[in-house]
Amino acid sequence: MATLDLRQQFPILNRMVKGKPLVYFDNAATAQKPQRVIDALTHYYTHYNANIHRGIHTLAEEATAAYEAARHTAQEFIGAAAPEEIIFTRGTTEGINLVAYTWGRQNVGAGDEIIISGMEHHSNIVPWQILCEEKGAILKVIPVNDNGELAMDVYRSLLSNKTKLVSVVHVSNSLGTVNPVKEIIDAAHRAGARVLLDGAQSAVHMDIDVQAINCDFFAFSGHKVYGPTGVGVLYGKKELLESMPVFQGGGEMIKEVTFEKTIYNDLPYKYEAGTPNIADTIALKAALDFISETGKQQIRDHENELLAYATAQLQAIPGLTIIGNAKEKVSLVSFIIKDIHPQDVGVLLDNQGIAVRTGHHCTQPLMARFGIPGTIRASFALYNQKEEIDALVTSLHKTIKMLL
């Protein structure tokens, strides 16, 4: 993969930070945007800005066509059976909450059980805690071993006829661990439970086929797949989405409204109340097209090479410990340095133009599991280069000398 050619498509990578060339290693938080995504946003606002659906004038019809084209692209991107199984949301968080507040309230009762894992993002913990508190249900947790992998034997023992839902992260945002989701899904289905996958980190790195893995719900965010913020996708099996109650009330999600009764709209509009995030949804299509045209296998090969290189270089630094050494990982390295707080490292790296993420990464229970306040996280994307990893390592050596 010609990394230099790809880098040129990302205008922000040309900027300087504190007099240094930007090295952007915070891709797990949000990825940078290629010019075609930026252009898609400005083109919509410049040429056919209008509200979608129902309008019969030219701009409204053009906007509607572009918006629905994005739905078809998202369907193909994750292998959904039909476009009506694609619900546009504000991101992974809203997708998970949508399922919790609709399917969850409808199907979970007192004494029922929901299983999550010990490496979940807060967005896949808190909605289920709220639901369990409201319904008198029980939240169970799959433990994480010292390598940052799920204890699958314990998971299987947690499943029972009381299990209504298993909701797990596909790829850990803190450790990079790729979880064995097909095995998780098959075991859950044998127990009669439904499965939701948090795909916020996996959608950008891995080939996703929701039909092949047979998950019931899958959520991901646009801004992590080189698209805009404020837009995401929730996939749900059609029969489940049709049986679930509505999430929000308002325009678009209705067929007919009287003061006596409202008839709700068909899928997917049933779950898209009000004027949606039209511009960002259209730009999301440009991002997904960019990934598909570049080729996920090529991207993955490049990122895996970066991961292996970074891991070897970082392990050679005295006092540095990598947190999360799963056999299956994406291009992310989380680490700590003895006697140095992660935030101090982050500040000093920023002074060298290097952007990393420090803290608990919205996974406080996972940090508690490892007995640490947080980590320094360097996460790599298709536009990163080995030379940037060299810059990180050099800056880490300087930082350690400065602080110790």
164-215 confidence digits (pLDDT tens): 999 999 999 999 999 999 999 999 999 999 999 999 999 999 999 999 999 9
Give the mean model confidence (pLDDT) for residues 83-105.
98
364 and 331 co-located in one domain: yes
287 and 304 co-located in one domain: no
Residue 79: pLDDT band (50, 70, 90) is very high
Nearest to 324 by CA among 198, 156, 149: 149
- The predicted pLDDT at position 5 comes to 82
283 and 333 co-located in one domain: no
Residues 6+ apart with CB under 8 A from 312: none
Contact status, residue 159 vs residue 187, Cβ threshold 8 Å: yes
Contact status, residue 265 vs residue 84, Cβ threshold 8 Å: no
Per the DSSP assignment, residues forming a β-bridge with 376 are 335, 358
For 44-53, 249-258, 312-321, 327-336, which range has the lowest pLDDT when averaged over its residues?
A: 249-258
- The predicted pLDDT at position 4 comes to 63
Catalytic residue, from 38, 362, 372, 393: name it.
362
278 and 357 co-located in one domain: no
- The predicted pLDDT at position 55 comes to 84
132 is catalytic: no
What does the H/E/C string look like for the chain? Answer: CCHHHHHCCCHHHHCEECCEECEECECCCCCCCCHHHHHHHHHHHHHCCCCCCCCCCHHHHHHHHHHHHHHHHHHHHHCCCCHHHEEEECCHHHHHHHHHHHHHHHHCCCCCEEEEECCCCHHHCHHHHHHHHHHCCEEEEECECCCCCECHHHHHHHCCCCEEEEEEECECCCCCEECCHHHHHHHHHHCCCEEEEECCCHHHHCCCCHHHHCCCEEEEEHHHCCCCCCCEEEEECHHHHHHCCCCCCCCCCEEEECCCCEEECCCCHHHCCCCCCHHHHHHHHHHHHHHHHHCHHHHHHHHHHHHHHHHHHHHCCCCEEECCCCCCECCEEEEEECCECHHHHHHHHHHCCEECEEECCCCHHHHHHHCCCCEEEEECCCCCCHHHHHHHHHHHHHHHHHHC
**CATH number (domain holding residue 22):** 3.90.1150.10
> Domain limits at 361?
3-30+295-403
325 and 186 co-located in one domain: no
For residue 49, give both structure tokens. 């800005």
Instruction: Say if residue 1's pLDDT is above 70.
Output: no
Give the mean model confidence (pLDDT) for residues 120-127.
98
Residue 19: pLDDT band (50, 70, 90) is very high
The identity of residue 35, as a single letter, is Q
- The predicted pLDDT at position 343 comes to 96
286 and 308 co-located in one domain: no
287 and 299 co-located in one domain: no
Pairing of strands 332-337, 375-379: antiparallel
Q: In the listed set 292, 307, 334, which residue is the last one of a domain according to the structure?
A: 292
Instruction: Say if residue 90's pLDDT is above 70.
Output: yes
- Residues of the chain with pLDDT > 70, as a percent, come to 99
**CATH number (domain holding residue 71):** 3.40.640.10
- The predicted pLDDT at position 404 comes to 78
239 and 354 co-located in one domain: no
Instruction: Say if residue 54's pLDDT is above 90.
Output: no
- Whole-model pTM: value is 0.96
Instruction: Say if residue 11's pLDDT is above 90.
Output: yes
90 and 207 co-located in one domain: yes
170 and 285 co-located in one domain: yes
Number of domains composing the chain: 2
124-152 confidence digits (pLDDT tens): 999 999 999 999 999 999 999 999 999 99
For residue 2, give both structure tokens. 């010609």
Contact status, residue 156 vs residue 142, Cβ threshold 8 Å: no
188 and 108 co-located in one domain: yes
257 and 356 co-located in one domain: no
- The predicted pLDDT at position 337 comes to 97
- The predicted pLDDT at position 174 comes to 98
- The predicted pLDDT at position 358 comes to 97
For residue 153, give both structure tokens. 């034997």
